[in-house]
Chains A and B, each alone.
Chain A
Amino acid sequence: MSVTREGGWYPLMLSADLETGTVAGSAVPGRDLAVWRDGQGRAHVWDDRCPHRGMRLSLGFVREGALACLYHGWRFGAEGRCVHIPAHPDLAPPGTIRTVPLPVAERHGLVWASVGAAGVQPEGDPAMEAAAWLPVRSVRIEAPWRDVARAVGMPEGRRAAVLDRDVDGRVLAALLPVGAGACMLHLLAAAPAGVERLHDLADWGRDVRSRAEERAGRACLAGIVA
Chain B
Amino acid sequence: MSDLVLHDDDLDEDCYRARLFLSLLGLEARRVAVDVVPGGEQDGPAFRAVSPAGMLPVLRIDGQKVCGAGAVLLALAHGRPEWLPGERADFARVAHWLHFAGGPLRATLLMRRACLFGGAGDAPSARRRAAVGALRIMEDHLAQRRLEGGTWFVGEGATVADVALFPAAALCRDWGEEYSAYPALRRWVRAVRALPGFVGMPGIPDYG
User: Roughly how many angstroms separate A19 CA and B190 CA in the complex, as a whole number?
Assistant: 10
Contact indicator A224/B147 (Cβ below 8 Å): no
A224 smallest CB distance to B (angstroms):
6
Closest 5 CB pairs between A and B? A222-B133, A140-B181, A137-B143, A220-B133, A222-B134
Query: CB of B23 within 8 A of chain A?
Result: no
Contact indicator B136/A17 (Cβ below 8 Å): no
A20 smallest CB distance to B (angstroms):
12
Q: Which residues of B contact A27 (CB under 8 A)?
A: 180
* 18 A-B contacts (beta carbon < 8 Å): A13-B180, A14-B183, A19-B187, A24-B179, A24-B183, A25-B178, A25-B180, A138-B183, A184-B180, A184-B181, A195-B148, A220-B132, A220-B136, A221-B129, A222-B104, A222-B134, A224-B103, A224-B106
Q: Which residues of B contact A206 (CB under 8 A)?
A: 140
B interface with A by C-beta (< 8 Å): 103-104, 106-107, 110, 126-127, 129-130, 132-134, 136-137, 140, 143-144, 146-148, 178-184, 186-187, 190, 205, 207
Contact indicator A22/B190 (Cβ below 8 Å): yes
User: Roughly how many angstroms separate A145 CA and B103 CA in the complex, as a whole number?
Assistant: 32
Instruction: Given contact pairs A22-B190, A25-B179, enumerate 17 new A-B contacts (beta carbons under 8 Å).
Output: A14-B183, A17-B183, A17-B187, A24-B180, A61-B207, A178-B180, A178-B181, A184-B181, A195-B147, A202-B143, A220-B132, A220-B133, A222-B104, A222-B107, A223-B130, A223-B133, A226-B110
Interface string of A25-63 (1 = CB under 8 A from B): 111000000000000000000000000000000100100
Closest residue to A33 on the B side, CB-wise? B180
Interface string of A59-73 (1 = CB under 8 A from B): 001000000001000
Contact indicator A221/B207 (Cβ below 8 Å): no
User: Roughly how many angstroms separate A196 CA and B128 CA in the complex, as a whole number?
Assistant: 33
Contact indicator A222/B181 (Cβ below 8 Å): no
Count of chain A residues near B, Cβ 8 A: 31
User: Roughly how many angstroms separate A14 CA and B146 CA in the complex, as a whole number?
Assistant: 13
User: Roughly how many angstroms separate A199 CA and B183 CA in the complex, as a whole number?
Assistant: 17
Which of A14, A26, A140 has the largest count of B CB atoms less than 10 A from its CB? A140
Q: Which residues of A contact B104 (CB under 8 A)?
A: 222-224
Q: Which residues of A contact B147 (CB under 8 A)?
A: 136-137, 195, 198-199, 202
